[in-house]
Structure 1
Amino acid sequence: MATIRAVIRKKKNKAGQLPIAIRITKDRKSTFLNTGQYIDEKFWDAKNRNVRKSHPNAKVLNNFILTKVAEANDKVLKSEMKPEYETVAEIRNKIIEKKGFDFFTVANMHLQNLKNRNKHHQYDTEFGRLKKFKEFLGKDTLPFNKLNVATLKRFETHLLHQKKLSPRTVVNYLILIRTIYNLAISESITDRGLYPFGKGRMIIKIPESLKIGFTAEEIQKLENAKGITEAQQKAIHIWLISFYFAGIRIGDVLKLKWSDFYDGRLLYRMNKNSKLVSLKTPKKAIEIFDTYKNDLDDNGLIFPQLKGVNLNHSEEVSKRTQSITRNLNRRLKIAAKHLGINKNISMHIARHSFGNISGDKIPIQMLQKLYRHSSVTTTIRYQANFIHKDADEALDSVLDF
């Protein structure tokens, strides 16, 4: 027969308070249900297993605890009446599952949060990933107690070997699932005891990605491009502007306005994280901008690609930017081939190219500022792809004999 008790656990939160939990014990094995409530240890009556009257909300908390104990007792009694044996873990899992709140219900909450924050591109990407997860499972519902390490491992194998996705892309799927699980925990929809991620469970390891940027000579080929179409030339202009301003993202380049420039500086707010940026306007960038001065847009945009788009409608801008980026990348590839550049090219390669050429010439703190990274650690990891001098010299010191 299982027993149910209200207890406090010893792991304190940031405020120094202890969590109130419901302990279920069966066959000398115990499991705990978090109630989401915390109190100072001095307010807990261990003998009577309730909150002392000296606590300002003692009556409300004790009624809450009684309700939780009663709910657990009800589930335990029903379990004991069944002919098949249930472990304490199985009983616990049934108790914590909230009716109607499975993984995909919380996934919809996550997607709605993205929409509310105007993260439309991320919404589209993650909507597609969740659709593939549903297709893999063959169903539209997934209780959290069924989302275990075995399921995640099978899904990982499916993406790698059946769908032929890259390891980095597969990691993105797993990170999305983990994010949704964390949301469910934060909303008290499921319990951390079921959490399938972390040490001894499903560990997400981000594989090192190969970032290859252009050399100065290859960029000069783009700057001096001849024999290409007007559409290809405009694509190169946008790519170069991104490069000249330390790899600003395509969405920000397309939304650049003449009014963003003051006293020879670019002042704008990044779309990705809303950070304010102030950068000197290089002479090479001014030369490109001068070619667009006669094509004034009603919105004051420098480049014409977003002409006619309502810039205040974030979803419309996001979808249009995705379409424009695909077209620009296609034209860049054709132009690069014509110019004798054999490396892959896309708008994002402009950012890699800035990193490649800067190498170890610029202090890491300055690069952090130019890249607009929130953490210098991110900058160090990013720039490690392009700093080869020390390794090259070390190799030469051994082989040059």
Structure 2
Amino acid sequence: MATVKAVLRKKKNPEGCYPIAIRITKDRKSSYLGTGQHIEEKHWDEKNRCIRKSHPNANIINNFLITKIAEANKKVLEAENNEDYQTVNAIKKKIRQNKKINFFAVADMHLENLKNREKHHQYDTELGRLKKFKSFLRKNELSFNELNVPLLKKFETYLLHDKKRSPRTVVNYLILIRTIYNLAISESLVDRGRYPFGKGKVQIRIPESQKIGLNRKEIQKLENATDLTEAQQNAVHVWLISFYFAGIRVGDVLKLKWSDFNDGRLVYRMNKNSKLVTLKTPDKASAILNRYREKYSLDNDLIFHYLKDIDLDDSQKVSVRTQTITRNLNRHLKKVATKLGITKKMSMHIARHSFGNISGDKIPIQMLQKLYRHSSITTTINYQANFIHKDADKALDSVINF
């Protein structure tokens, strides 16, 4: 006889919460059905297999679990009454047969995870992409049975030809859909059997992107620029500080504080991956910082005052304001580039590319990995490949210079 129980799985998510699942056991073999619910371990009553009253939504989730267990028990009894022997996986499959799992319900779980991890910019971006997917489908629900290779190919064509999206943007949509599908699999909501990604199906290949950075002469133009408005000069200073510290991201530059600098070094924690970084403060960076030390009082501790009126602990507000500030900085940088005769597209992000362009193959790849704060050296190799041309240039010259 098969048994059905609610259990707390032991694999916690990035927020430190554990998934609640329905466990079906037969012949000492178990299989699990995800419920989509996650809680902290302290809220789980192992003896009674339910949510403790200490959880704010205990009654709602417990009623939900009772319903799910009842549904599973019904299917188990039907399977047990069948004359043919059925394994636990066969029973699990029967429970799912009449249940259409909505892709967008799992997408909401994914978005909620992003919000809980305070990935607000990614949340906004992926919410927009899901709206675009709904617009293509012309409906708000999609079962995973319908999410197949032909549908994804049509969506790919729609983005490329109807919406004129770049191949890289199309890849981002497909990666999002794949991420949500993988979440559904990990939560035991769908089987991997219908998985539409991989060899012979929809293969996601990230196209190589062209990364263009400024050269030495162009950066010297920025360093020596005169006759700029105050807003333009501030934008140039933010850009140069990013460049001088090996291309730290604009969101981190805007949050730099005087207290981050001690004994001639910058020590800060990256917003993207929470890595702790320490770098020497170059003389050129010190010259800019000293100007701001004289210009502003130290009441706020922030070096650049773009975020001075924002609660830095409110990650959502900081994310929204940073996006607005970055757009304004980029607008000022484009005007500066026009004044200085720099034809390359100017933005805050190419400060990082410019460091890569000038470093070229002069710095050992392991040191570049440290400066870029990459987790994997493969990422550094792929990134720096955009800027290392010496060997290829020599090889070309050796053939055609005769």
TM-score, scaled to structure 2: 0.78
Which amino acid counterpart does residue 307 of structure 1 have in structure 2?
K
2:337 is matched with 336
Change (3 A) 1:290 1:238: same
1:280 aligns with 2:280: yes
Q: CA RMSD in A?
A: 2.8
Amino acid at match of 1:356: N
For 2:141 and 2:125, the matched residues in 1 are separated by 20
Do structure 1's residue 247 and structure 2's residue 253 form an aligned pair?
no
Structure 1: distance between partners of 2:291 and 2:97? 62
Q: Which residue does the alignment assign to 1:161?
A: 161
Secondary structure class of the residue paired with 2:131: helix
Q: Which residue of 2 aligns with 1:6?
A: none
Contact preservation (8 Å) 2:100, 2:144: no
* Structure 2 Cα separation of the partners of residues 297 and 320 of structure 1: 22
Equivalent pairs: percent with the same residue?
Answer: 69
Distance in 1 separating the partners of 2:124 and 2:397: 48
How far apart in 2 are the matches of 1:95 and 1:214?
A: 59
For 2:139, give the aligned amino acid.
Answer: K
Residue 266 of structure 2: SS of its match in structure 1? Answer: strand
After superposition, residues 318-397 of structure 1 pair within 5 angstroms as: 318-397=319-398
SS at match of 2:311: coil
Deviation at 1:99, TM superposition (A): 4.4
What letter matches 1:139 in structure 2?
A: K
Q: In structure 1, what is the Cα distance between the partners aligned to 2:155 and 2:171?
A: 11
Counterpart CA distance in 2 for 1:172 and 1:147 is 17
* Equivalent position of 1:315 in the other structure: 316
Q: Secondary structure at the match of 1:299?
A: coil
Is the contact made by 1:256 and 1:301 (CA closer than 8 Å) also made in structure 2?
Answer: yes
CA–CA distance in 2 between the matches of 1:98 and 1:289? 65
Question: What are the Cα deviations for residues 106-147 of structure 1, in whole angstroms up to 9, with x where unaligned?
Answer: 111111111101100010111100110010100111101100
Structure 2 counterpart of 1:86: none
CA change 1:94–1:323 in 2 (3 A) is farther
In the alignment, structure 1 residue 51 sits paired with structure 2 residue 57: no
Aligned length: 335
For 1:241, give the aligned amino acid.
Answer: I
Tell me the amino acid that sits aligned with residue 381 of structure 1. Answer: N
Distance 2:396 2:263 in 1: 47
The alpha-carbon deviation at position 400 of structure 1 amounts to 1.2
- 1:101 offset after TM fit, Å? 3.7
Correspondence 1:63-82 to 2 at 5 A: 70=76, 73=79
Give the SS at the match of 1:279.
strand
Name which of structure 1's ranges 222-231 and 295-304 shifts more when overlaid on structure 2. 295-304
Structure 1 gaps, min length 5: 1-34, 39-48, 53-62, 78-91
Runs ≥4 residues deviating over 2 A: 35-38, 49-52, 66-74, 92-101, 296-299
Partner of 1:266, secondary structure, is: strand
| Deviation by residue 1:316-360 (Cα, 9 ceiling, x = unmatched) | 000000000000001100110110000001100000000000000
Distance change (3 Å), C-alpha of 1:93 and 1:288: same
2:336 partner letter: A
Contact 2:75-2:94 within 8 A present in 1 as well? no
Distance 1:119 1:149, change over 3 A: same
User: Using a 3 Å threshold, how does the CA distance of structure 1 residues 334 and 51 change in structure 2: closer, same or farther?
Assistant: same
Q: Which amino acid aligns with 1:326?
A: R
Q: Distance in 2 between matches of 1:36 and 1:167?
A: 42
Separation in 2, partners of 1:94, 1:152: 27
Q: What residue identity is the alignment partner of 1:70? A: V
Quote the residue 1:300 is aligned against: 301
Shift in CA distance, 281/238, structure 1 to aligned 2, threshold 3 Å: same
Specify whether residues 180 and 36 from structure 1 end up closer, same or farther in structure 2 by C-alpha distance, changes over 3 A only.
farther
> 2-side partners of 1:220 and 1:300: how far apart?
29
Q: Using a 3 Å threshold, how does the CA distance of structure 1 residues 250 and 272 change in structure 2: closer, same or farther?
A: same
Q: The residue matched to 1:267 in structure 2 has which SS? A: strand
Specify whether residues 336 and 94 from structure 1 end up closer, same or farther in structure 2 by C-alpha distance, changes over 3 A only: farther
The equivalent residue for 1:7 is none
The Cα shift of 1:194 comes to 1.3
Residues 158-180 of structure 1 show CA distances to partners (whole Å, capped at 9, x for unaligned) of: 11111111100110010000001
Q: Which residue of 2 aligns with 1:184?
A: 184
| Unpaired segments ≥5 residues, structure 2 | 1-21, 30-68, 84-91
CA contact (8 A) 1:211 1:385 kept: yes
Q: Which amino acid aligns with 2:305?
A: P
What is the alpha-carbon distance in structure 2 between the residues aligned to residue 94 and residue 390 of structure 1?
Answer: 61
Larger Rg: 1
